Structure 1
């Protein structure tokens, strides 16, 4: 019997490292219901009416203090701190009530796409999220994703998106170059952060900002499902974006 012939991508010493950085909420995991519920409880704790859901979804991706400054612009610093603390407590409580994985499921095809990329020898993966480190660690553990990523950047250690600090740190930690790096996200803040860091900006349409908003923010390419991811990454690399 003739053995099967297995073809594989040839990686030479001259093949550049490629860094692909994912956002979490709205990109890898669907945490919309959990975020909205926690936001409602946080505002209730301060005896305030919660913002409309569309306003809350519009600030996902920002660090928590910046998000509340936009949602409650008339509040002073101590009130913003209380809202942040109430949101964190509510988020943890609701997650425990509803079950960790069930409360923020992976989007269809997400884990398989990440695993395929991680198996490629020239590919380095990372996360850049507005979550705190504790929240990111919980999400990675809940979905058994932690082993795929070489760099993890959170709101604990950086200015809010769209500041490029998270992505610049990811480059420093991996040794990759911005010319061969891509940020994948679902919000305008992800696209602007990518541009600010010299990354290619790849938008996904299943998250919290719509396609026109993503394109207006500078997305180099847009995908509508994880089945399109690898072709989009190859096209961006070929185009030298």
Structure 2
């Protein structure tokens, strides 16, 4: 069996508008200036505590209040039909095709909460395709390798048969630390050059390139092939 682990925000789901809006609202609620879009997107993928420590400072006394304000703002935005978290183009087709293959198990490793993952993936009707969901509720923040280690243990697949897919250097660093192959995606929140520098085996430009990318790692030099979507 093989395991493909996906990040969520910036990889499967485009949630940048909601993340930035919720972050702006959190800082505004405490009368503090917004960190700005670039800084906010640079920390997507981290746990909330780690994210706010990077946006402020590790000893900032406002961090607990900022975290609570961010959660409240994000939940309010999610309830507003004007705000959406769409799947990236091709994501559904590729996830469904991989899930239909008998020798591939799918997983999630994300800085989202379990509740958040269930809501967004359930909304798109793809939650049940993932056999293991690892979140910031259950493990240290990326780039610590615990989420990947827990995912592998949950489904009984070793690092040699596991690939991590993500859009940030936190995902790539986590994969390298866990001893699994990382694939970057170029449609998310960190630049492709940074993903390559962190150790990504490749950086995809569209979701439909993923099956060929997986095959190139699992079956190098034409040693078998993996069906496309």
Aligned to 1:201: 182
> What is the TM-score when the length of structure 2 is the normalising length?
0.94
Question: Which residue of the partner structure matches residue 49 of structure 2?
Answer: 65
Flag structure 2 segments of 5+ consecutive residues without an equivalent.
222-229
**Rg larger in structure:** 1
- Cross-structure match for 1:12: none
Report whether the alignment pairs 1:183 with 2:167.
Answer: no
The answer as to 2:207 corresponding to 1:226 is yes
Structure 2 SS opposite 1:98: coil
Aligned to 2:226: none
CA distance in 2 between counterparts of 1:135 and 1:55 reads: 22
Q: Matched residues in 1 for 2:141 and 2:128: separation? A: 25
Partners of 1:220 and 1:200 in 2: CA distance = 7
5+ residue gaps, structure 1, are 1-16
CA offsets per residue over residues 204-239 of structure 1, 9 Å max, x none?
000000110111111011111011010000001124
Tell me whether 1:43 sits opposite 2:7 in the alignment. Answer: no
* Counterpart check, 1:31 vs 2:12: no
2:4 aligned residue (11, 14, 20): 20
**How many residue pairs are counted as aligned between the two chains?**
221
CA–CA distance in structure 2, aligned partners of residues 55 and 68 of structure 1: 11
1:87 equivalent to 2:70? Answer yes
Distance in 2, matches of 1:80 and 1:132, equals 18
1:104 aligns with 2:85: yes
Scaled by the length of structure 1, what TM-score is found?
0.89
Root mean square deviation of aligned Cα: 1.2
Segments of 4+ in structure 1 off by > 6 A?
A: none
How much does 1:19 deviate?
0.1
> d(CA) in 2 for partners of 1:74 and 1:27?
27
